[in-house]
């Protein structure tokens, strides 16, 4: 899937593709800025009103957009109707496989979460087959739920922890799970009862969490940020000028394996002092005096309760992790010069207790901090960001090329 929004794609050089390009431009404008009138779409997209009108009729016929309400006239001309994405135009299923459990959501074309199931539990030590069979059941249930809601499933996205080979669609390495070279999509589909649509995506969970934040909006006009996703592992998704930065081979963003304490504890990757060993959920719970639970949400709930009653050990444990996190985040900011850091995963509910100690470190370590203020904010999507990003990924592929020959839905 392209990480470019429809309006940032280069203009086509082949005249035969102009209409498809313009359709993506119109649909992307409605998706990003709607509801809008036809005249407003024309102004925002730079296309003529006649071109917009023709494309809108086609998109209405395809069931991708809808007309809603009537815009009152403010000057000459007749009133117009607003255009918006049609929620019933389709849905994406998003599955997250994480160290501390599975999550699955259904997101409609307008971006609303219509179904959500979370299965917490430590997956370390479980066989690959048992985890992927459980994942297949969640996807089957999500497709069934989509049908009950009257939604066709247009695509499935899977978020996985570790290094994902995008070309081969293989999870090359997930250190915390002990997985090597797992064809995740093929394996899950082999266990599933439902058939899958043609649009399928496998990507790193932090990358999809960052894309979920980008596509869902809510961070003002910021189009360059680092999303730091924290649970047992710690990952980062880097968005620069509205596009995900992956690195030369697609393996960028492994913030959790940045060394911040060279003589620190050994990591499952084989190195010592990796960030996730001193700022991940396991260390936060240990230093806060919270017993790890087979149900991760129980342990996090216990931690939050301790913080709410101002338990000194819990407050100090979270603050210590926040300071370690600040070392890694400062390195990312110095490298990429972003103006915003979004904290996701478990860091989102912990944000009120992380914020101050993290900022203290960032103010010391970010070189530009004194004249270029850095915005630090919790994720809008919280711990669902990766699953929602996974569900949105195949839908964004549709927005990129709405007039392409339709891929089969389920």
Task: Per residue of the chain (410 residues), give pLDDT as tens.
Answer: 333 344 455 555 566 578 889 999 999 899 888 799 999 999 998 999 999 999 999 999 988 999 987 655 555 445 568 999 999 989 999 999 999 899 999 999 999 999 999 998 889 989 999 999 999 999 999 999 999 999 999 999 999 999 999 989 999 999 999 999 999 999 999 999 988 998 899 999 999 999 999 988 766 667 889 999 988 889 999 999 888 998 878 788 888 888 888 888 888 888 898 999 999 999 999 999 987 765 566 889 999 999 999 999 999 999 999 999 999 999 999 999 999 999 999 999 999 999 999 999 999 999 998 888 899 999 999 889 999 999 999 998 888 888 776 555 66
What pTM, to 2 d.p., does this model score? 0.88
Helix (H) / strand (E) containing 178:
none
Q: What CA–CA distance (Å, rounded) separates 206 from 177?
A: 16
Helix (H) / strand (E) containing 320:
helix 312-336
Q: Sign of torsion, CA 250 107 179 347? A: positive
Is it true that the peptide bond before 35 is cis, omega within 30 degrees of 0? yes
- List 111's β-bridge partners, or say none: none
Q: What CA–CA distance (Å, rounded) separates 179 from 78?
A: 62
Q: What CA–CA distance (Å, rounded) separates 194 from 143?
A: 8
Catalogue all structural domains in the chain, each as residue range(s) with its CATH number: 6-85 (1.10.10.10), 90-209+386-400 (3.30.420.40), 220-379 (3.30.420.40)
pLDDT score recorded for residue 3 = 35
Tokens of 140: 């089957």
DSSP state of 62: T
DSSP 13-29: SSGGGHHHHHHHHHHHH
- List 214's β-bridge partners, or say none: none
């Amino acid at each position: 899937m392209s990480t470019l929004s429809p309006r940032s794609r280069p203009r086509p050089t082949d005249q035969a593709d102009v209409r498809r390009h313009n359709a993506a431009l119109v649909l992307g404008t409605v998706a990003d800025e709607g509801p809008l009138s036809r005249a407003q779409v024309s102004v925002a997209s730079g296309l003529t009103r006649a071109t917009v009108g023709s494309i809108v009729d086609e998109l209405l016929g395809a069931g991708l957009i809808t007309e809603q309400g009537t815009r009152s006239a403010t000057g000459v001309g007749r009133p117009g109707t607003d255009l918006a994405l049609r929620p019933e135009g389709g849905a994406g299923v998003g599955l997250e496989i994480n160290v501390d459990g599975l999550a699955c959501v259904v997101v409609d074309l307008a971006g609303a979460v219509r179904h959500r199931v979370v299965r917490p539990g430590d997956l370390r030590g479980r066989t690959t087959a048992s985890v992927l069979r459980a994942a297949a059941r969640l996807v089957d249930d999500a497709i069934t739920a989509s049908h009950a809601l009257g939604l066709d499933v247009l695509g499935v996205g899977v978020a996985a922890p570790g290094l994902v080979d995008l070309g081969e669609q293989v999870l090359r390495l997930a250190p915390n799970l002990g997985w090597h070279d797992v064809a995740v999509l093929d394996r899950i589909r082999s266990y599933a009862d439902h058939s899958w649509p043609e649009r399928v995506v496998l990507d790193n969970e932090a990358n999809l969490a960052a894309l979920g934040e980008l596509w869902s909006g809510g961070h003002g006009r910021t189009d360059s940020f680092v999303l730091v996703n924290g649970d047992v592992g710690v990952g980062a998704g880097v968005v620069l000028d509205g596009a995900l930065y992956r690195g030369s081979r697609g393996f960028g963003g492994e913030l959790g394996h940045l060394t911040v304490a060279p003589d620190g504890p050994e990591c499952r990757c084989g190195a010592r002092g990796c960030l996730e060993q001193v700022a991940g959920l396991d260390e936060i719970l240990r230093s806060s005096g919270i017993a790890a639970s087979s149900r991760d949400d129980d342990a996090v709930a216990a931690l939050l309760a301790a913080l709410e009653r101002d338990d000194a050990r819990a407050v100090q444990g979270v603050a210590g992790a926040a300071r370690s996190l600040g070392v890694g985040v400062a390195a990312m900011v110095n490298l990429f010069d972003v103006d915003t850091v979004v904290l996701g995963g478990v860091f989102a509910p912990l944000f009120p207790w992380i914020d101050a100690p993290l900022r203290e470190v960032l103010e010391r370590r970010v070189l530009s901090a004194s004249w270029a203020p850095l915005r630090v904010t919790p994720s809008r999507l919280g711990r669902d960001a990766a699953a929602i990003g996974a569900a949105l990924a195949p839908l964004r592929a549709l927005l990129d090329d709405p007039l392409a020959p339709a891929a089969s839905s389920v």
